[in-house]
Amino acid sequence: MTEATRSSGAATRRALVVGGGVAGLVVARDLASAGVDVVLVEASDRLGGEVGRHVVGGLPLDAGAESFATRGGTVRAYLDELGLGDDVVLPDPRGAWVQHGSGQAFPLPRTGLLGIPGDLAADDVVAVVGAAGTAEAARLDAAPGDVGADETSVGGLVRVRMGDAVLDRLVTPIIGGVHSVHPDALSVDRVAPGLRAALRREGSLAAAVLSVRALAPAGSAVAGLRGGMASLAEALVAELDRLGVEVRLGAHVAALDGRSVTLNGDAAAAGQGAAATSSTSGAPERLEADVVVLAVGDGAGRVLTGRAAHAAGLITLATLVLRDPRLDAAPRGTGVLVAPGADGVRAKALTHATAKWPWLAERAAGRHVLRLSYDSPAVTGATTDDELRSTALADASVLLGLTLDPATVEDAARVEWSAPLPQEAAGASSSLPDGVVRVGGAVAGRGLAAVIAHARRVAAELVAR
């Protein structure tokens, strides 16, 4: 039993799921499948949270998550269960590049884990880190295996075992691009379970990386869905509909009191799925259940559980759909991760989506889709859409090594998301009120693999009561 469900022993007959992102949808489906009466309340006018779709240049594109980690096989098995298994696709094997302050770009080394090299002598590692940096890394990594094994953050571990050059030139851009945080703020055990134990066992971090990689199934570390990851959210919405889950959109939970929640009185009307209704406007409304599942994301989760609020930054995504035949050659593979301090670029990552996903290239029919991500304050909410479009095109020109012409851009879009907050301490859920459990990225770790696996575990424990 996890800390999340230890508190209450009462049977779960009626559950209230707060938040309709993937975590909430997964829990709601599993509880409803087991015969629990489920009500799901979602503050916005759509379900899916950070998984959703927008149309740019006539192409239906992922507006948030666009892939899933294949580790553990959890998401793949879940997609099979939802009938989406035939749509699972692997990204183009050309891989991504990394761009440095020097303006130079390099293909990412093949034998790494989160950018931590498995072979410090490999040519592709020396090319990125430099001869002096790899020599220093090899010297540090020759220390006994228990040196650094108590470091809990990825940054701390890499700094001690391989030094600043490996951290700055490889690990930081990869972690920043994938997890939107600095490696110092990311728990090793969450993103690379078993790595610290392997370090003690193998005696070096490079050998530990190889050993953890050898245990992982062969093939790509990530996969996607033909049609986009938004199909996952759509399939889950259809499931809730089929199972008769009551879904209330525009229903913002303002307060949590034991096993009851208070909805804002001025909730907006909306509709998604046959079972969806809009929340009533007027007086605040109270809902009660045997169990309340908080699936609200980092910021709201802190507020509702009485933790100190934490100002969240923004991640801005700029998507360009353009026609330039020079991009057919995928000059930087599937995209570029940007090291801090790279000259003349404000983006932290670029995904060449039509190079990464062959199904999308087919649909784009000769056009290209580039997706650039920015951390605030590099590009703030004050930037106009036209300014963002120009910035994104200028950055894409630097990162792809080509001068892209504004006249080739057929359409552009901007999406803004809350940046993840530092992960909450393990055990944060144990202090929740009796009958309240938490799921989602803040407690499970960022990414669909972690979020889905954790949400299913919590649902199974609630059902098993």
Q: What are the residues binding ligand FAD (CB under 6 A)?
A: 18-24, 41-44, 49-51, 64-69, 252-253, 295-297, 300, 315, 317, 417, 440-441, 446-449, 451
319 and 413 in contact (C-beta within 8 Å)? yes
- For residues 79 and 451, which CB has a smaller minimum distance to ligand FAD in the complex? 451
Q: How far is the CB of 185 from ligand FAD (least distance, A)?
A: 15
Q: How far is the CB of 102 from ligand FAD (least distance, A)?
A: 28
- HSE at residue 116, side-chain half, CA atoms within 13 A, is 30
232 and 82 in contact (C-beta within 8 Å)? yes
Q: How far is the CB of 233 from ligand FAD (least distance, A)?
A: 9
Q: Contacts from 231-234 at CB under 8 Å and sequence distance 24+?
A: 231/84, 231/87, 232/22, 232/51, 232/79, 232/82, 232/84, 232/448, 233/22, 233/25, 233/47, 233/48, 233/49, 233/51, 233/52, 234/48
For 258, which DSSP code?
Answer: T
- For residues 67 and 383, which CB has a smaller minimum distance to ligand FAD in the complex? 67
Among 185, 232, 217, CA closest to 452: 232
| Angle at the Cα of 59 from the Cα atoms of 53 and 60, rounded to 5 degrees | 20
**φ, ψ (nearest 5 deg) of residue 283:** -70, 150
Q: How far is the CB of 279 from ligand FAD (least distance, A)?
A: 10
Identify how many contiguous H helices and E strands the chain contains and give both numbers: 16, 23
Q: How far is the CB of 352 from ligand FAD (least distance, A)?
A: 15
Q: How far is the CB of 382 from ligand FAD (least distance, A)?
A: 20
- For residues 126 and 254, which CB has a smaller minimum distance to ligand FAD in the complex? 254
Query: What distance in Å separates the CA atoms of residue 298 and residue 316, rounded to the nearest whole number?
Result: 17
Give me the residues paired with residue 411 across strands: 321
Q: How far is the CB of 424 from ligand FAD (least distance, A)?
A: 12
Cα of 232 vs its chain's centroid, Å? 14
- For residues 159 and 414, which CB has a smaller minimum distance to ligand FAD in the complex? 414
- For residues 208 and 287, which CB has a smaller minimum distance to ligand FAD in the complex? 287
- For residues 199 and 293, which CB has a smaller minimum distance to ligand FAD in the complex? 293
Residues 6+ apart with CB under 8 A from 144: 203
- For residues 356 and 367, which CB has a smaller minimum distance to ligand FAD in the complex? 356
